[in-house]
Amino acid sequence: MNGPLISPDAISSLLRGLGVNTTYPRLRIAELIMTRREHLSAEQVFSIVNQTRPRVSRATVYNTLNLFVDRGLLQTVTSQAGVTLYDPNTEPHLHLHDLENDTLHDIPLQVLDGFPLENIASGFHVERIDLTLRVRKAEQATA
């Protein structure tokens, strides 16, 4: 998947539509995370946002990311090391974790077409699937 999830111009309207006050730090954080197809940690967001002035506090970054999760703008994924990563793709999807580069990549849920979820979750409604494939390039897997 390539390209931004949302244009920077649409971010302010989106936040207001979710009842989020559009403060300068919130707009900067939203623009950073919503215009990329990356899974960033709060510390990465803090570092990137603070490459320019004015600075945004660590607490503001954490609080804003949590607010965005609460409003459904982001979802969280836990890395293999236990670090919370923020995912701007809130559509149902899977993840491929490249262990060599320690990066997550989205995989469309359609790869499970034909997989008998109804047999596994008999009597239940599947609300969310959290599946992460942790991979290494084939020539490195045996090393």
CATH number of the domain to which 110 belongs? 3.30.1490
| Omega within 30 of 0 (cis) for the link into 54 | yes
Does the global pTM surpass 0.85? Answer: no
Domain boundary among 47, 63, 86: 86
Range of 39's domain? 8-86
The pLDDT of residue 1? 41
Tell me: do 51 and 118 sit in the same domain. no
The number of domains in the chain is 2
The answer to whether 52 touches 32, Cβ cutoff 8 Å, is no
* Same-domain pairing of 101 and 32: no
Task: Decide if 1 is inside a domain.
Answer: no
Q: Dump pLDDT digits (tens) for 48-71.
A: 999 988 899 999 999 999 999 999
Whether 81 and 108 share a structural domain: no
Residues 72 and 12 in one domain: yes
